[in-house]
Amino acid sequence: MIPDFQTLLLPLLQLSGDEKNHSTKEAVHQLAMDFSLTEQELNEWLPSKTQKVFYNRVHWAKAYLKMAGLIENTGSGIFRITLKGKEVLVKNLSKIDVRYLKENYPNNKELIEPLGKNDTQNNTQLINSDNISDVNKETPEEQIYNGYNQIRHSLEEELLSKLKSVHPSFFEKIVVELLIKMGYGGLIEEAGKTTSYTNDEGIDGTIREDKLGLDIIYIQAKKWNDTVVGRPEIQKFVGALAGQGAKKGIFITTSYFSKEALTYVPKNETKIVLIDGVSLAQYMIDYNLGVSIQKTFEIKKIDSDYFDED
């Protein structure tokens, strides 16, 4: 199991206890061996795919020790222990965590005000809290991504609920518009269309596979609440495609598919793509349909090349 960054604070300080210069890369390698991490654990990435989880946690353990003044940078990616750090090691502590750093180095603004909080009263309460050791067990990146995932999951549920409440004909239009945003067809006026709501013969709409319209994909859109879409419904759709002389279709529902429906493979050359309610909501978020961007954050890092004086 990959240790959280607070667990790495004391081992990282102990590693630098020889008073020599150490690189972050060296620290990652040594701590990985100390915690007997597997290759799979060492190659686990953050959701952003910009950095590996363990490296990121070592980085933040190093950052917190530096903010507390227990280690100092001596070069690009190079650090060593300070006098304060050596004084801590002499105490033979069993662990160092955020609570310890905040209680013993209260004048360090960065430690007292994590994540940009600037309310002095709230920070005092935070320092005195019995749960302070649980604060920031995740690195700032992990907190951001986990928070983002929670917000997104909530939005998915809200969006799916909204889709289930719209009129079936409007739902069909949403489906066609989504497919166009995903790159099918070109302009919405010419790329896709819905069929008559009362006489669709199992086909709710069509979409051009490409901008030239060399092939047509047929759509079945079922606005159902919790009714499972079974294999018979998929077979009916395949039959409707055959009636149109078509071989490609997309079956979209606000509900979900049964195991039999998901494993059904037509005996002819017909290709069917199944999209359930959760996937539909996710696609709408990814392609900005029915949602709006409220705030954008940029995560930046030092451009090492800029500071290269050679």
Sign of the CA dihedral 82, 299, 281, 182? Answer: negative
Q: Is residue 115 part of a domain?
A: yes
Q: Which residues in 178-198 are b (16+ Cβ under 10 Å) and which e?
A: bbbeeebbeeeeebbbbbeee
pLDDT tens digits along 58-80: 999 999 999 899 999 998 789 99
* Mean predicted lDDT score pLDDT of the chain: 83
The count of domains in the chain is: 2
User: Do 168 and 132 reside in the same domain of the chain?
Assistant: no
Q: What is the CA radius of gyration of the chain?
A: 28
CA distance 11 to 9: 6
Cβ–Cβ under 8 Å, residues 2 and 52: no
Secondary structure (3-state) at 162: helix
pLDDT tens digits along 116-133: 333 333 333 333 333 434
CA distance 287 to 178: 7
User: Do 81 and 164 reside in the same domain of the chain?
Assistant: no
Domain that holds residue 242: 159-286
User: Do 115 and 173 reside in the same domain of the chain?
Assistant: no
Q: Is residue 49 part of a domain?
A: yes
CATH number at residue 271: 3.40.1350.10
* Model confidence band, residue 267 (pLDDT cutoffs 50, 70, 90): confident
* Model confidence band, residue 31 (pLDDT cutoffs 50, 70, 90): very high
pLDDT above 90 for 255:
yes
Average of per-residue pLDDT across 285-291 = 95
